[in-house]
């Protein structure tokens, strides 16, 4: 039995000892390190490097609009019933694509495309068609359905007709934000989608030929109990999504104004939350899902699991991903691109974003150019978080270092985790043991040079 298929070892005492706050490592370095010093020349230099690489492209579009406010949400969003706001925003996104098409070699195929938000299905079917046509004018989208073209949906606010329209536009994967089926929990967070609505959509998108269905759930929401989450899991497992994400609700009302609408006394205690997580992981594994890592699960035949088994799994701003050989161009407010050894983040306020585009500027406000040290540590963290092992021989071959000497300080920091059975270290490398998989963020933090430099940044808890 492979490590990925084994039931997870569970030790509450050890978990409590290492359950600190830390990054999710959807990038390394993480977004708080991005700097306003990054300029147009840095951007153009990275674009030229991207063009020389010839790597395929991945496109991300941030559509920030929502009809209703989900109290738990920490996304960059605009809650409005005024649908007329969407088209002017999309027109700015199209202008941004035109700016990029001038700089990047757009003959490269787009093997991955993602609409996120907000709620992408907030826009009308006609606006969806308009945006995809604009995308095709500037980039080489695949017409043979071999790419991973995905979008996020609120299953309580989208019709089966619209899902059919999106399939016709080329989308073949869908991520449904289910969160919880318990009505009391839904009321407490103002997020509604019934089992009937979700079930109807699941059957429809399968009939429409979508290749993959993913569902997002959240644990730690107000009024959740072990029994209520178990009931939600029973319903989800019966629906049989190909992938599942079980996200930890991080209550950070000082950062996210909408979370102040959640009554803190309704939140499960840390002990109850841990019990819910243990039950959920065990329940999903018993149902045949592979625990890919952190908060991701997938059926054994899913491409995410196959990529992990083949050593090709990657981590990006959407979480675990199969396409690590792409350069990411991201469009819209707050979107983050990754190409040519840099990260670039767009303006976070929609008014600022639109003003920059209207002025004929690429609408980024921050960026980060990775150093050779950053590339090394990015490699280390990516291998640990995706494959739960690190080869010292691989580091010597790719970076020409003696890892045991180079990372002597970090290996010493890992020693308590060795003693607690979370990792093992020998002359060939580091292996995360079964008991350490749940705490992989904490293990990766040892190699984060920016954390170890004493930067005081507030992150969510690891568990």
pLDDT at 454: 58
- Residue 335 belongs to a domain: no
Domain boundary among 277, 297, 330: 330
Q: Does 144 lie in the same domain as 23?
A: no
CA distance 139 to 87: 20
pLDDT tens digits along 409-440: 999 999 999 999 999 999 999 999 999 999 99
- Residue 376 belongs to a domain: yes
Q: Kindly state the DSSP code that residue 21 receives in the 8-state scheme.
A: B
pLDDT at 455: 58
Q: Is the distance from CB of 192 to CB of 155 less than 8 angstroms?
A: no
431: domain CATH number is 1.10.10.920
Rg for the chain (alpha carbons), in Å? 22
Task: Quote the tokens at residue 442.
Answer: 């904490």
pLDDT at 457: 61
Q: Does 149 lie in the same domain as 82?
A: yes
- 């005081």: which residue's tokens? 456
Q: Which domain holds residue 50?
A: 31-330
- Residue 461 belongs to a domain: yes
Q: Is the distance from CB of 236 to CB of 299 less than 8 angstroms?
A: no
CA distance 52 to 104: 10
Domain count, the chain: 2
Q: Does 119 lie in the same domain as 211?
A: yes
The residues near 399 (Cβ < 8 Å, ≥ 6 apart) are 376, 379
- How many of the other CB atoms lie within 10 Å of CB of 33? 16
- Residue 40 belongs to a domain: yes
Q: Does 261 lie in the same domain as 124?
A: yes
- Residue 128 belongs to a domain: yes
- Residue 391 belongs to a domain: yes
Q: Does 176 lie in the same domain as 230?
A: yes
- Residue 353 belongs to a domain: no
Mean pLDDT of 286-310: 94
pLDDT tens digits along 352-371: 999 999 999 999 999 999 99
CA distances from 82 to 68, 78, 93, 457 (A): 12, 10, 19, 36
Q: Does 395 lie in the same domain as 289?
A: no
pLDDT at 132: 98
- Residue 346 belongs to a domain: no
pLDDT tens digits along 121-174: 999 999 999 999 999 999 999 999 999 999 999 999 999 999 999 999 999 999
119: domain CATH number is 3.80.30.20
β-strand partners of 327? 57
Q: Does 223 lie in the same domain as 242?
A: yes
Q: Does 89 lie in the same domain as 134?
A: yes
- Per-residue pLDDT band for 22 (boundaries 50, 70, 90) equals confident
Nearest to 128 by CA among 161, 87, 100: 87
pLDDT at 20: 81
Average of per-residue pLDDT values in the chain = 94
Give the torsion sign (CA, 201, 202, 204, 209). Answer: positive
Q: Does 121 lie in the same domain as 12?
A: no
pLDDT at 380: 98
Mean pLDDT of 296-325: 90
Q: Is the distance from CB of 336 to CB of 364 less than 8 angstroms?
A: no
Q: Does 422 lie in the same domain as 288?
A: no
Q: Does 84 lie in the same domain as 25?
A: no
């Amino acid at each position: 039995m492979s490590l990925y298929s084994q039931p997870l070892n569970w030790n509450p005492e050890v978990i409590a000892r290492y359950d600190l706050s830390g990054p999710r490592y959807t990038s390394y370095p993480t977004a708080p390190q991005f700097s306003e010093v990054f300029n147009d020349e840095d951007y153009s230099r990275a674009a030229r490097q991207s063009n020389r690489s010839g790597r395929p492209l991945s496109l991300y579009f941030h559509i920030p609009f929502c009809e209703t406010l989900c109290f738990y949400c920490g996304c960059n969003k605009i809650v409005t019933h005024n649908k007329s706001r969407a088209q002017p925003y999309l027109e700015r996104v199209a202008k941004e694509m035109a700016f990029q098409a001038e700089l990047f070699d757009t003959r490269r195929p787009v093997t991955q495309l993602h609409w996120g938000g907000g709620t992408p299905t907030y826009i009308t079917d006609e606006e969806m068609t308009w945006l995809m046509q604009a995308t095709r004018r500037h980039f080489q989208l695949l017409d043979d359905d071999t790419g991973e073209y995905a979008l996020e949906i609120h299953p309580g606010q989208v019709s089966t007709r619209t899902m059919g329209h999106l399939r016709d536009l080329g989308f073949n994967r869908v991520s449904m934000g289910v969160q919880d089926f318990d009505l009391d929990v839904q009321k407490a967070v103002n997020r509604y989608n019934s089992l009937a609505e979700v079930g109807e959509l699941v059957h429809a998108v399968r009939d429409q030929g979508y290749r993959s269905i993913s569902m997002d759930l959240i644990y730690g929401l107000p009024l959740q109990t072990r029994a209520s989450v178990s009931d939600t899991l029973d319903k989800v497992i019966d629906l049989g999504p190909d992938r599942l994400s079980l996200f930890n609700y991080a209550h950070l009302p000082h950062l996210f104004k909408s979370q102040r609408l959640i009554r803190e006394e309704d939140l499960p205690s840390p002990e109850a939350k841990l019990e819910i997580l243990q039950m959920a992981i065990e329940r999903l594994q018993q149902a045949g899902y592979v625990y890919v890592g952190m908060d991701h699960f997938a059926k054994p035949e899913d491409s995410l699991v196959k990529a992990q088994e083949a050593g090709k799994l990657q981590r990006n701003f959407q979480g675990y991903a199969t396409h690590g050989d792409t350069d990411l161009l991201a469009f819209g407010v707050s979107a983050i691109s990754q190409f040519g050894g840099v990260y670039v983040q767009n303006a976070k306020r929609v008014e600022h974003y639109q003003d920059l585009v209207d002025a004929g500027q690429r609408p980024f406000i921050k960026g980060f150019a990775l150093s050779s040290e950053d590339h090394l540590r990015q490699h280390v963290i990516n291998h640990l978080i995706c494959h739960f092992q690190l080869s010292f021989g691989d580091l010597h071959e790719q970076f020409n270092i003696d890892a045991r000497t180079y990372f002597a300080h970090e290996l010493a920091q890992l020693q308590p985790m060795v003693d607690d059975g979370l990792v093992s270290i020998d002359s060939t490398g580091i292996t995360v043991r079964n008991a350490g998989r749940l705490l992989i963020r904490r293990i990766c933090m040892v190699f984060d040079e920016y954390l170890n430099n004493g930067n005081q940044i507030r992150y969510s808890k690891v568990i």
